[in-house]
């Protein structure tokens, strides 16, 4: 188990990079008043996070005043507090899907208790990281295959040689079959 990076009250949202769990809350919200002490005093300082999340995930929060100026970064929310997992690129912009929507996962229907939120964070982030690793590996394989179709001169030469060799082998096999 491990403690994670913590960025208290994000005012400069541009400094967020990589995977983040963001709590969007409001000072006037009763649910937020109940949850934020749990988040700041139990979840953040706990060391109940999986080892593979160390130096990877940042925990932060943003108050409604700042959120209203940064909706394009965090996406729309349905209510306070919203616990949202999202990933930011190196320039501090959230990752988007092919349709241009912000890629995010909200903690919906999860009790606002330290243990439940910590388990949610461990599960959601690990699943997302593993999915990204799988996609990266898949993309690398696809790129290698693409190189065979259109790639470099060296690759084309190698493919031509292999095709010639295959044709010679096929001709020999056909001759043997005809002799029988």
Indicate which CATH number applies to the domain containing 29: 3.40.30.10
Q: Is 114 domain-assigned?
A: yes
Q: What is the pLDDT of residue 140?
A: 54
Q: How far is CA 18 from the centre of its chain?
A: 8
pTM of the model: 0.69
Per the structure, the count of domains in the chain is 1
Q: Which of 63, 74, 83, 76 is nearest to 10 (CA)?
A: 63
Q: Is 175 domain-assigned?
A: no
Q: Is 74 domain-assigned?
A: yes
User: Range of 128's domain?
Assistant: 5-134
Give the integer Cα–Cα distance in Å for 9 and 15. 12
Q: Is 27 domain-assigned?
A: yes
Give the integer Cα–Cα distance in Å for 158 and 169. 17
Q: Which of 55, 78, 69 is nearest to 13 (CA)?
A: 69
Strand partners for 20: 58, 86
Q: What is the pLDDT of residue 141?
A: 53
pLDDT in tens, the chain (180 residues): 455 666 666 555 657 888 899 999 999 999 999 999 999 999 988 888 888 888 888 888 998 888 888 888 888 899 999 999 999 888 888 888 888 888 898 998 889 999 999 999 999 988 887 777 777 665 555 555 554 455 667 777 778 888 888 888 888 878 878 777
């Amino acid at each position: 188990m491990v403690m994670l990076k913590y960025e208290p009250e994000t005012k400069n949202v541009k400094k967020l990079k990589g995977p983040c769990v963001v709590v969007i809350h409001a000072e006037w919200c009763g649910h937020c008043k109940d949850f934020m002490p749990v988040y700041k005093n139990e979840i953040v300082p706990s060391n109940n996070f999986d080892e593979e999340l160390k130096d990877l995930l940042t925990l932060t929060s943003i108050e409604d005043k700042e959120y209203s100026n940064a909706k394009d970064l965090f996406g729309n929310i349905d209510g306070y507090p919203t616990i949202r997992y999202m990933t930011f690129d190196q320039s501090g912009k959230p990752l988007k899907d092919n349709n241009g929507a912000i890629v995010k996962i909200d903690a919906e229907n999860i009790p606002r208790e330290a243990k439940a939120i910590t388990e949610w964070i461990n599960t959601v982030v690990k699943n997302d990281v593993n999915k990204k690793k799988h996609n990266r590996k898949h993309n690398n394989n696809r790129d290698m295959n693409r190189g065979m179709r259109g790639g470099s001169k060296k690759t084309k030469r190698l493919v031509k040689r292999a095709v010639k060799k295959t044709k010679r082998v096929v001709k020999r096999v056909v001759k043997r079959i005809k002799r029988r």
